[in-house]
Each structure stands twice: as structure tokens, then as C-alpha cells.
């Protein structure tokens, strides 16, 4: 019997082949499905690792496997696998990709990670809070998820930063993170046909980037930009209200993601671990898109 917050048989059949094989040497090995269900339960409920029910095995085993698969990219491969499958059957909608961000409060336990060492790709001068994707504001420590979703409201790519980072500074990074390989032959899908975003992304740099990549876009201009164009006698940028109404799919996507309490509040000290939490939540959304995969 499949319990609440556990993967259905159909969903498990889709991801099982990509999980690391059991080692031939050593003692008893905890079943992958049992451990993955424990990880999903933890993220769904937002409970502490030590509070994972015994039916999922020792909490140390569940945590260590979550940590190991975060480091070796297993969660990313699983999400890419389900995206490739849906793209092969023509389900991925790139005609109206929406971009936005949401702020997540960081629990007090998310602070205090060791400052020794520097994450890969960082310079020694980087601020510790930036390395850990934590931003400080009046409300305390926060993290921001910059996300792009397809026309159905399913996550295509995301970037994790501190909560004090401006949205428009990460749009190019989010767009360039979109990559869906072809199942058989062909180049990966990396370019949305149409991009929809709010006026927070209305900058000359972003519009120039989208034009160079030949990505049609619907982004409203800010009041100051409209006034400046009027003073200079320039015409407004093209804007279609009907297309812009489709932007609410990204809001619905955030609504679905924040049903995972372990995502709606950040408990992980390391940005890499919190990124894995968002990846797992996104994976569950893609798996549950097919009704037969729902428990």
C-alpha cells in the first residue's frame, strides 16, 4: 500500500533505472525506494531529519543518501529524465515560458554553516552569505528562487540566490539553464519560443539579449520607462495583454512548490542541499502531472 507523500508504482518505475546501483560489497543495503520515500516525506512535511519515521530506515541512512546524490548530480539527472520523456511525447510547452521569483524565509538553523573553504567556482573574496544563498533583510535571512516554467506551469530551470538579489540580474542565467536533451537524435531544446515576465524584468539589457537570441517576449514597461519614451518621441515596446494573462502559470507553479513545507521554509545550511530540495519538489510535480503516477 502506498502511503501519503510516497511515490506511486508508476512514478517509481520511471525513475528507478537511473538510480545508482547497489554496491556488491558491504553489509545490508537499504532499499532505494524506501529511502527515496523517506526523503520525499521529509521535504513534504518539513520535519527534522531525526524525525523521519522508522519505516523509512535509519535517518542517518536517508540523510547520507540525500547528501551523496546531491553531490553527484543524481537528482538533476532524474529531473532531466522526466523532462526528456515528456518532451519526446510532445507535452513540454515552450510557446509561453514564464519567469518570476519567490522569496523563502530561512529558518534560524539554516545559518551558521562553516565558513572554512570556498565553494567551487567562487573566489576567496566572495561574502559568506552570498556563497550560502542567504540574504539579510529586515525580516531576517531569506533565499530567493528564480524560476522559469513551461506553459503548463512545470519547472524548466531555476537559480538559487540570496533574498536580496534583484530579479532582473538573474533572468539570463535562468534562461540559459533551460536544457532538455532530445531522447534520440537532435540538439537539446534550450530556447523558449516566447518569454513572459513582469515589469521587474523590463531592462534594456534583457530586451537586447532576448532579441539577439530571437526569443519573442511579452514584458510590460515601467512607468518611468514609458515617460522617458514619451519625452523622446519613441514608440512603446510591443505588448499583448492576452499573452500576458498566461503569466499566472508561474504563480501557480510557486503555489505547488510551496506545498512542500521543507521548501517553503529553508532549513538546509548549504545552498547545494536546498537546491536539491527544490529539484526533488520539481521532480514530484513533473511525475504527478500524469494522473496515473499520482498515489
Read off the pLDDT of residues 79-126 as tens digits, 9 standing for 90 and up.
Answer: 999 999 999 999 999 999 999 999 999 998 888 777 655 444 443 334
Q: What is the pLDDT of residue 191?
A: 93
Q: Indicate if the pLDDT at residue 63 is higher than 90.
A: yes
Neighbours of 61 (CB within 10 A): 16
Domain ranges of the chain: 9-14+31-110+131-293
Lowest mean pLDDT across 31-45, 46-60, 133-147, 217-231? 217-231
Give the residue carrying C-alpha cell 533565499.
143
State whether residue 143 is helix, strand or coil.
strand
Quickly state the pLDDT bin for 294 (edges 50, 70, 90).
low
Read off the pLDDT of residues 134-155 as tens digits, 9 standing for 90 and up.
Answer: 998 777 899 999 999 999 999 9
Q: Indicate if the pLDDT at residue 210 is higher than 50.
A: yes
**Phi-psi label, residue 274: left if phi above 0, alpha if psi -120 to 50, beta otherwise:** alpha
State whether residue 261 is helix, strand or coil.
helix
**Closest C-alpha to 257, from 266, 246, 269:** 266
Kindly list the distances between the CA atom of residue 132 and the CA atoms of 56, 67, 84, 151, in Å, as whole numbers in the listed order: 29, 16, 30, 31
CATH number of 9-14+31-110+131-293: 3.30.420.10
Model's pTM, two decimal places? 0.89
Amino acid at each position: 500500500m502506498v502511503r501519503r507523500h510516497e511515490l506511486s508504482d508508476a512514478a517509481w518505475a520511471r525513475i528507478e533505472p537511473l538510480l545508482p546501483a547497489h554496491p556488491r560489497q558491504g553489509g545490508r543495503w537499504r532499499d532505494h525506494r524506501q529511502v527515496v520515500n523517506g526523503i520525499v516525506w521529509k521535504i513534504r512535511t518539513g520535519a527534522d531529519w531525526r524525525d523521519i519515521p522508522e519505516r523509512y530506515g535509519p535517518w542517518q541512512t536517508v540523510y547520507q543518501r540525500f547528501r551523496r546524490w546531491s553531490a553527484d548530480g543524481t537528482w538533476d539527472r532524474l529531473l532531466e529524465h522526466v523532462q526528456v520523456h515528456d518532451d519526446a511525447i510532445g507535452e513540454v510547452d515552450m510557446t509561453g515560458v514564464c519567469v518570476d521569483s519567490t522569496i523563502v524565509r530561512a529558518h534560524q538553523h539554516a545559518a551558521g554553516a562553516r565558513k572554512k573553504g570556498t565553494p567551487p567556482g567562487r573566489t576567496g573574496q566572495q561574502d559568506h552569505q552570498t556563497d550560502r544563498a542567504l540574504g539579510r533583510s529586515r525580516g531576517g535571512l531569506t533565499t530567493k528562487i528564480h524560476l522559469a516554467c513551461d506553459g503548463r506551469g512545470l519547472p524548466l530551470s531555476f537559480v538559487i540566490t540570496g533574498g536580496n538579489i534583484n530579479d532582473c540580474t538573474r533572468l539570463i542565467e535562468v534562461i540559459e539553464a533551460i536544457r532538455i536533451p532530445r531522447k534520440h537524435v537532435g540538439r537539446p531544446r534550450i530556447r523558449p519560443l516566447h518569454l513572459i515576465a513582469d515589469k521587474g524584468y523590463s531592462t534594456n539589457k534583457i530586451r537586447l539579449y532576448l532579441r539577439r537570441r530571437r526569443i519573442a517576449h511579452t514584458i510590460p514597461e515601467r512607468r518611468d520607462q514609458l515617460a522617458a519614451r514619451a519625452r523622446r518621441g519613441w514608440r512603446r515596446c510591443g505588448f499583448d495583454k492576452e499573452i500576458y494573462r498566461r503569466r499566472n502559470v508561474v504563480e501557480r507553479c510557486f503555489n505547488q512548490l510551496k506545498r512542500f513545507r521543507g521548501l517553503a521554509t529553508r532549513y538546509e545550511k548549504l545552498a547545494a542541499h536546498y537546491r536539491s530540495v527544490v529539484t526533488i519538489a520539481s521532480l514530484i510535480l513533473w511525475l504527478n502531472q500524469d494522473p496515473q503516477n499520482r498515489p
